[in-house]
Chains A and B, each alone.
Chain A
Amino acid sequence: MTETNPRFFRHGPSLLARLVFFVMLSLVLMAADARFKYLLEIRQAFSTVIYPLQKLANVPGTIYDGVSEFFFSGHLADENIHLKQQHLVDRGQLQQLGALEAENAQLRKLLEATQRVESKAVMAEILHVPRDPFNRKVMLDKGSQSGVQPGQVVVDDIGVVGQITREYPWASEVTLITDKDHSVPVQVVRNGLRSVISGTGKDAMLELRYLAVNTDIQEGDSLVTSGIDGVYPPGLPVAVVSKIERNSTYVFARVTCTPVAGVGHNRQLLILSTLTPVTEIPAEAFELKPESRKREKGGVR
């Protein structure tokens, strides 16, 4: 095809050469990004280009919200009554909580255990939900300028949503718990059974892998974070067991769970800004098992 062009009209290398060059370049980029995580600086440079566009893309949604609020404010009175009732209930529970917290601190002091750090939270709004069907991620409108760090936990009013995986100056990327590469250490509330829950890459579906067929777990069991990983604070609701398939020909049961938090329902999320203190692991433990150190480094995904 290109051979039909007159020679003196040609510019630069041929079409095929250019294609091969850019295909190789993108393959190298993909390998560098997926396997070695080298490209954070380049990503941050791109974020400054695309952040104004993302903000601008949100304008119609914000205007719609504002306008609908203005015209349909009739239900505000109802909402107010409801919120007052809710406030009363919450106050009652909060008083109990205060007493329990004081008692807990007292008991922990007696046991000389480490104090649980009270976590502060940063409120953030969902800036953008990517259209990529291969990963479950959202972008939030708070970044390293607001003190957001990778590894912090993101929750909504009901439970765990995900974890910050990349931070940019004014935005941050949250990997949802439903992402196929994401796992959360959990505990069954009913009997304290510990396990790790993993995302499946599908919406509203989580999986408990490697649970033996005869494990004591029931449909409807609620799962909360166990806190033993040092990343997720203990006691945050994560999921409810929705379906268990016990087939005695397999070693493990298939346990499917539904996450309790919904990212689709609300625009506001909370970033818990304090990480729980990790208990120091003695250095000998690393020297004995060198591969465990590697796993620690690549842990946040």
Chain B
Amino acid sequence: MAFADHPKHEILRPVRGSLIVISLMVTLLLNLMPLKGIALALWPDFVALAILYWCISQPQRVGISVAFGMGLLMDFGDASTFGQHALAYSIMAFVALLFHRRLSNFELLKQAPQIGLILLLGQFVILLTGLLDGSHFPGWNFFLASVTGTLLWPFFSSLLRIPQKPRFESDAR
């Protein structure tokens, strides 16, 4: 059978708009945490993870425009050049939307490395804009955030799936 090892998909309930908005706001909050030193270097870009998750699972509702808007908020929060994160998030959302059918066929653990590549692409765009603005190369540990983001992806997306799980009590009635 060709479909024998195909992952069995749970049928999830439709996503409420409020869940998308709340998740984006909470991830923005996580990105704005006042951190220092090694924690800051390892802290993944939660907003990027949330945008990628919604672009893959809800491509009709979250697209490049939402990614752009979140990027502008992130630019303000980071006090960086306006449009830097917006550009990176737009490109990441584009890649995620382009491959969302392929990506949603994989299990979360197998999705993680592919998400990692998209995160790396986004960081590379940020690095490029930074270098064009005349900054120095910030060192290789700049890319550590992508690695931790990749490792965190399975937990992160299963956390976002909890509110979408079907409720069996309501079926019994």
Contacts and interface: CB of A to CB of B under 8 A. Distances in A.
Partners in one complex: yes
B34 A126 contact: yes
A137 B43 contact: no
B12 interface: no
Interface in A51-67: 53-54, 56-58, 60-61
A34 interface: yes
Nearest to B82: A33
A165 B86 CA distance: 22
Interface stretch (A128-136, A142-150, A185-193): A128-136
B142 A133 contact: yes
A22 B64 contact: yes
A60 B134 CA distance: 35
B76 A46 contact: yes
A126 B32 CA distance: 13
Contacts of A134: 80, 130, 133, 135, 138
Interface stretch (A24-32, A71-79, A104-112): A24-32
Contact of B29 (A11, A39, A53, A264): A53
A47 B72 CA distance: 11
A43 B82 contact: yes
A137 B81 CA distance: 12
A87 interface: no
Nearest to A200: B136
A146 to B, nearest CB: 19
B11 to A, nearest CB: 21
B68 interface: yes
A128 B32 CA distance: 7
Contacts, number: 133
Contact of B98 (A15, A42, A202, A264): A15
A68 B134 CA distance: 42
Nearest to B73: A50
B114 interface: no
Instruction: Tell me if B's interface is mostly helix, strand, loop or mixed.
Output: helix
Given A19-B90, A50-B77, A131-B31, A30 B36 contact: no
Contacts of B33: 57, 60
Interface string B29-49: 111111111001001000000
B76 A50 contact: yes
A18 B32 contact: no
Nearest to A126: B34
Contact of A180 (B37, B76, B79, B135): B135
A49 to B, nearest CB: 7
B60 to A, nearest CB: 7
Interface in B6-52: 25, 28-37, 40, 43
Given A46-B73, A57-B33, A131 B78 contact: yes
Contacts of A16: 94
Contacts of A50: 28, 32, 73, 76-77
A46 B136 contact: no
Contact of B91 (A1, A19, A132, A133): A19
12 contacts: A28-B83, A30-B87, A53-B32, A57-B29, A57-B32, A61-B34, A129-B40, A130-B78, A131-B35, A134-B130, A166-B79, A180-B134
Interface of B: 25, 28-37, 40, 43, 60, 63-65, 67-68, 71-73, 76-84, 86-87, 90-91, 94, 97-98, 129-130, 133-136, 138-139, 142
Given A29-B86, A42-B82, A129-B40, 5 more contacts: A27-B87, A39-B82, A53-B77, A131-B78, A134-B80
